[in-house]
Structure 1
Amino acid sequence: MIEVYTDGASSGNPGLSGAGIYIKTGGRTHEYSFPLGILSNHEAEFHAVIKALGICRRHFPAEILSFRSDSRVVVDVIEKGYTKNKTFLPLLEKINEEADHFPHFFIKWIPEKKNGNADKLARKAIHL
């Protein structure tokens, strides 16, 4: 099983945004930072999950994925598989499309203090 921690950050809301992804697998860790352009903080959080799924598809195909996010909005939308928000809907559809490539995809909410590595990477991405 692959543990994936994601976070999005935005300098302003909306503002310059970044995604941070911290992956733990087999005793090894992998770190990624992606600048995202001008987005809201919530949008950046969704994009972090999408970027992480793409990384997992390339490097960890056919693995069980256990995602963690400190965004209640993202976790709730993904778990329910539904949103009325027209901005989030295409992002949810992309997440579902990417998640279908894996045997199992789980996401759970964690407090911010347990997501420090991904947060640091997301903030770094804003300045790349």
Structure 2
Amino acid sequence: MIEVYTDGASSGNPGPSGAGIFIKENKRNYEYAFPLGDLSNHEAEFQAVIKALEICSESFPKEIVSFRSDSRTVVDIIEKDYTKNKVFLPFLEKIREETTKFPHFFIKWIPEKQNKHADRLAREAVRMN
């Protein structure tokens, strides 16, 4: 099983944004920081999940992936597979599409203090804009 920690950050809302992704695979760790341009904080959180899914489908195809995010909004929308928010809907549709590439996909909300690694990477990515 691949453990994936994602975080999005935004300097301003909207403002320069970034995605941080920390992946644990057996004894190996992978770190990614992606500048995202001007987005809201929620949009950056969704983009972090999408980028992580794309990385996993390329690097760990056919693996079980277990995601963790400190964004209750993102986790709730993905778990319920539903949103009325027209801004969030395209993100949810992309996530639905990407998750079909895995035998099992899980996402779980975690407190910010358990997501410090991805948070640091997301803040790094904001500074890359």
- Give the TM-score taking structure 2 as reference length: 0.99
Residue in structure 2 matched with residue 28 of structure 1 by the alignment: 28
Q: Which residue of 1 aligns with 2:8?
A: 8
Shift of 1:127: 1.1
Which residue of structure 2 lines up, in the alignment, with residue 96 of structure 1?
96
Partner of 1:78: 78
Identity of aligned residues (%): 74
Q: Which residue of 1 aligns with 2:120?
A: 120
Distance 1:61 1:94 in 2: 17
For residues 104 and 88 of structure 1, the distance between their equivalents in structure 2, rounded to whole angstroms, comes to: 23
SS of residue paired to 2:108? strand
After superposition, give the CA deviation of every residue in 1:47-105 in whole Å (9 maximum; x if it has no partner). Answer: 00000000001100000000000000000000000000000000000001000000000
Over 2 Å off, 4+ runs: none
What is the root-mean-square deviation in Å for CA atoms of aligned residues?
A: 0.3
| SS of equivalent to 1:51 | helix
Segments of structure 1 that go 5 or more residues without pairing to the other structure are none
Aligned length: 128
* Whole-angstrom distance in 1 between the partners of 2:64 and 2:57: 11
TM-score between the two structures when normalised by the length of structure 1: 0.99
The aligned residue for residue 111 of structure 1 is: 111
- 2:55, 2:101 → 1: CA distance? 12
